[in-house]
Amino acid sequence: MEKYKFLILGAGPSGLAFAHTLLKHGERSFLVMEKEDIAGGLCRSKMVDGSPLDIGGGHFLDTRLPHVLEFLFQFLPQDQWNIFDRKSAIDFGDYRVDYPIESNIWQLPVEKQVEYIHAIAYAGENLGHPAPEQFEDWIQWKLGKRIAEDYMFPYNRKIWSIPLEQLGTYWIDKLPSVSFKEVLYSCLTKEPYGKIPAHKTFYYPIKHGYGAVWELMGKELGEKLALSSPVQSLDIKRKTVNNHLSGAIIINTIPWNSIRLDDISSDIHNAVTGLQYSGIQVDYFSADPGNDDHWIYIPDERLSYHRILNRKTFIDKAKGYWTETNLKRSSETNAMVAVNNHAYPLNTREKPSLMKKIAEFTKMNNVYGLGRWGTWEHINSDIAVKQGIELAESLLKNMKK
């Protein structure tokens, strides 16, 4: 048995941040196991047609956390990033509206504006009804029937590819929040109003893809990072991996349901198999998409993909665009450049109780879930880094006590 104080499963942003925090505090008894031959997880990039392409889908750095920026700039310094004001739109075929639609109804033909505003006025929120706990009902309650039918229902059916009534609403702080008053202000002043939670401005590396910073973080770990080393099995009670590695503490950042978990109760087994996720395929096309938006959302259900990323708008001298398609709607094509089986943890209504059970059992055994898959949370890479730093610091502190 090879023994370590910490075994870290997965070298995505959360595992890398955890490992570097150990090093910063002088702790060297650890190993990071990664199945791919390069670090970075969903944030990896590769060169396609002469320029970088993000193989986990379009990735942009936007954070309100100065210590996370400082942490990342240690590996790829700030002067090696461009900063952009986000420009993204929703394409309805006949017309296009800036994102988010509820702040930009004024860009629509007048008859559509009246239809949408009228429907919002009669939406549950504005009639004083309590907020529903099902995502599908919440959409109509918040945005009214018309925006729901033209955009939110089809788009969300495409990206998640599960019946929307299975999704909860405990995660809606990720969505824009625009009140009816703000909708009216924006229509009358022809300016967007309201709060967009993510990516108002964003950083993207000047010369590389988003993957560059994570690849550099991986390289700096030297032999502490074991690439091309898949985890096949995890015994939580004995704290062993693949039957030949053991950690006094195990940090898991890989999907719980993607490996064999040995010696667990049927209750935990059911919780793990109850976790749902979706995958995406990324396809590349060399043509110019003919607009200057960074990315575009596509609600039209006749088209398989749900988002288009316009490379030239954030990568110098790049051409072409890539699309993101839920794996349930995709097919193998010549344009395919990447398949990510685990892309989005799904926010089903049962997820919070399933994850509570899993976390209680694993923590009791000194196995900690971390990052997007360890916590099954729809988090961005800055939060994955924050969580990695915080968990490492708190475990090191407890060990000293």
- Summarize as ranges the residues that interact with ligand FAD (CB under 6 A): 9-15, 33-36, 41-43, 56-61, 230-231, 253-254, 258-259, 280, 324, 343-344, 371-373, 379-382, 384
Residue number closest to ligand FAD, CB atom? 12
Give the shortest CB-194-to-ligand FAD separation in angstroms. Answer: 20
Identify which of residues 10 and 320 has a Cβ nearer to ligand FAD in the complex: 10
Give the shortest CB-60-to-ligand FAD separation in angstroms. Answer: 4
Handedness of CA 66, 72, 73, 78 (dihedral sign): negative
Identify which of residues 142 and 294 has a Cβ nearer to ligand FAD in the complex: 294
Give the shortest CB-278-to-ligand FAD separation in angstroms. Answer: 9
Q: Is 18 left (phi over 0), alpha (psi -120 to 50) or beta?
A: alpha
Give the shortest CB-41-to-ligand FAD separation in angstroms. Answer: 2
Q: Which are the contacts of 161, defined by CB distance < 8 A and separation ≥ 6?
A: 278, 326, 327, 328, 329
Q: Per DSSP, which regions of 134-259 are E strands? A: 201-205, 225-226, 233-235, 240-241, 245-252
Give the shortest CB-300-to-ligand FAD separation in angstroms. Answer: 19
Q: Which are the contacts of 297, defined by CB distance < 8 A and separation ≥ 6?
A: 88, 89, 90, 91, 99, 155, 306, 307
151 C-beta neighbours (distance < 10 Å), count: 21
Give the shortest CB-386-to-ligand FAD separation in angstroms. Answer: 11
Distances in Å between the Cα of 342 and the Cα atoms of 8, 13, 379 are 19, 15, 14
Joined tokens for residue 25: 């505090």
Identify which of residues 120 and 231 has a Cβ nearer to ligand FAD in the complex: 231
Identify which of residues 43 and 139 has a Cβ nearer to ligand FAD in the complex: 43
Give the shortest CB-117-to-ligand FAD separation in angstroms. Answer: 31
Give the shortest CB-190-to-ligand FAD separation in angstroms. Answer: 28
Burial 201-213 (b: 16+ CB within 10 A, else e): ebbbbeebbbbbb
Identify which of residues 167 and 379 has a Cβ nearer to ligand FAD in the complex: 379
Identify which of residues 105 and 254 has a Cβ nearer to ligand FAD in the complex: 254
The DSSP secondary structure of 269-314, one letter per residue, reads HHHHHH--EEEEEEEEE-S--SS--SEEE---TTSS-SEEEEGGGT
Give the shortest CB-16-to-ligand FAD separation in angstroms. Answer: 7
Identify which of residues 61 and 120 has a Cβ nearer to ligand FAD in the complex: 61
Query: For residue 260, what are the β-bridge partners?
Result: 233
**Nearest CA-CA partner of 292 in 96, 109, 154:** 96
The answer to whether the CB of 308 falls within 8 A of the CB of 296 is yes
Identify which of residues 142 and 386 has a Cβ nearer to ligand FAD in the complex: 386
Joined tokens for residue 154: 């089809």
Give the shortest CB-214-to-ligand FAD separation in angstroms. Answer: 8
The answer to whether the CB of 4 falls within 8 A of the CB of 360 is no
The answer to whether the CB of 200 falls within 8 A of the CB of 63 is no
The answer to whether the CB of 42 falls within 8 A of the CB of 197 is no
Q: Which are the contacts of 367, defined by CB distance < 8 A and separation ≥ 6?
A: 234, 236, 239, 249, 250, 251, 252
Identify which of residues 12 and 247 has a Cβ nearer to ligand FAD in the complex: 12
Identify which of residues 102 and 382 has a Cβ nearer to ligand FAD in the complex: 382
